[in-house]
Structure 1
Amino acid sequence: MTDPVGSPTDMTILAQAIVNSIPEPFLMLDARFRVLAASQSFYDKFQVDAAQTHGCELFVLGNGQWNIPALRILLDRIILDRAPVDGFEVEQDFPGIGRRTMLLDARKVPRAPDEDIRILLAFRDVTARRVIEKEKEAILEQSEHLRRQQQVLLEEMQHRVANSLQIIASILLLKARAVSSEETRHHLHDAHQRVMSVAAVQQHLHATDGVDKVEVSAYLAKLCSGLASSMVGEGQPVAIKAMADVGMVPSATAVSLGLIVTELVINALKYAFPVLKADALVLVTYEIDAADWKLVVSDNGVGKSEIEKAAADGGLGTTIVKALATQLGAQVEVLASEDGLTTSVTRATFTSRMPQAA
């Protein structure tokens, strides 16, 4: 005769069917941690059968891989209605399947006061995940090692470049003092100024503690400050100021911008103020609009003088500026008036918001 629906036999069959439907290995334990039921996934995973599992204490299953003092303590806490077990990690050699990493989750089954204690114990195999994590850690460690090596090499290269530039600058000054031709001495002084400007750019990039990107506002401010301290003479004091939008630019772009600014400032200091001017000013502005930008170097000097026109049209500084601008995909425009000279280096169409020196 068939048991009525809802009888203990039917409920037991239903419970076992539910347990067997769970894809992860699963055990039901009593208060003495003996196996009352196991899911089919448990038998499949650990390659055991019911005779080897049912009625056995958890801690003697297999080769005793679950006989872990810390696990015993955690399961005892569950019996005392303490915290459940979440993600207890076990790495052991299991008979038939080898070394595996398992995470254990345990919960006490809610019950009536007169019912026996039941504990549900689930197993998650995270062996593959741990292997991937270890591989990723090894790759990250190797990448960090390579990064540190590159940083050391970069610092060594920067140090050598700085020393080489200082040596070249010193040699140029010695040669300038030794030659008798005033024209040759003038060219050697020009070359010295350009070497020092390259050194100033390189020194600032080294101090920014970043290889890929440079904050352009601080960069131009420091560059202009360095140019003012090293190139403005007492005979004609000239203020060199920078106004720039805040933004990051690639280091290669920063180098080109720095060299353009240096060349244009050198030209302004050489030609814009042939006579003393109380409010002499060279103003450097840099504006950003998405991928577009505009760099302007303006002065309030003599502007339309013949020597200024010559410097703007065909000097070495102008040639260098045009070449650097071409590398940056930008156009150069020079405007001269009685109020001074303005040189704009623009990438794409740009409407300026910044003031000019004049």
Structure 2
Amino acid sequence: MILEDLYRLLKSGHVLAQGIVDTMTQPTIVLDHNLCVTTANNAFVRTFEVERDDILGQNFFDLGNGQWDIAELRHLIGSVIPKAAAVIGFEVVHNFPAIGQRTFLVDARRLIHPDNNSTNILILFDDVTERRRHDAERDFIIAETRHRLRNLLAVIRAIAMQTETEDRTATEYRDILLGRLEVTLRAQELAATGEATDFEVLLRQSVSEPGAQRLHCDGPTVTLASSKVLAISMIFHELGTNAAKYGALSVPDGEIHVTWALEAGARDRTYLVCNWREKNGLPVTPPKRRGYGTELIEGTSAHLGGKVELKYDPGGLAAMIKIPV
């Protein structure tokens, strides 16, 4: 074999090897025993937006303003040849000069050679930026779902424990409990959107059918933060339930009139002042003892930083609810 044939053979082998490396879709480079770049594939050039000639012969740890110059990674790659070791999945998070904040997993292995004496190192880069972002979003969603479920179960347990059983049949207890759970779930659906909720929409939704048809509303447009939706919904559901059982909605001609306005308060707070008035219903008298409904209405209003006044007028219940919005 003449020298020209040998040169042609070597050149052909080099072109074939480079072609194989360029075929790989992962960014890949080959380092010599001095950890300088001898080969970089097209994926590496595209991914890091560099010129091939600018990185050939450069020390790996000097590339890209030293973004790979990490003590632990330097130690791991330095041990690949003498210890026949391998680096698998070393994570690098860096703000790269041309492509911005990215996350890469780095693999490094000794390049296979027939006589097993190669001192070259093959390094592959796996861009997992989007994968990490999706994982973080998934973990957040799972954590948020668990948090909401715990909160919802706590609310359900509180409702079940505080719904009175005295002087009630099992059927009555079931219907009351299911009604309160239904309004809780509807309010949770509104709150889960994270968007502000229109007060009148929430009010009408909180009063069960067919009573909602006899609910007359008058007031300006008021939007409620999602954090207040469940509590306010429970207040008006309780008022509506009591009206259906004992008040205006328990007779065919009974009506409920609700008016509201916004009122400025201390420390730049704005309050929703709402007046609930039942008309044409059965005569009402103050209860002999405080029940769950009264405690829920007053306690929830206080929890929101507001207050409630209940007046048991003979002509029908009147309630004034004042809540900061």
Q: Which has the larger radius of gyration?
A: 1
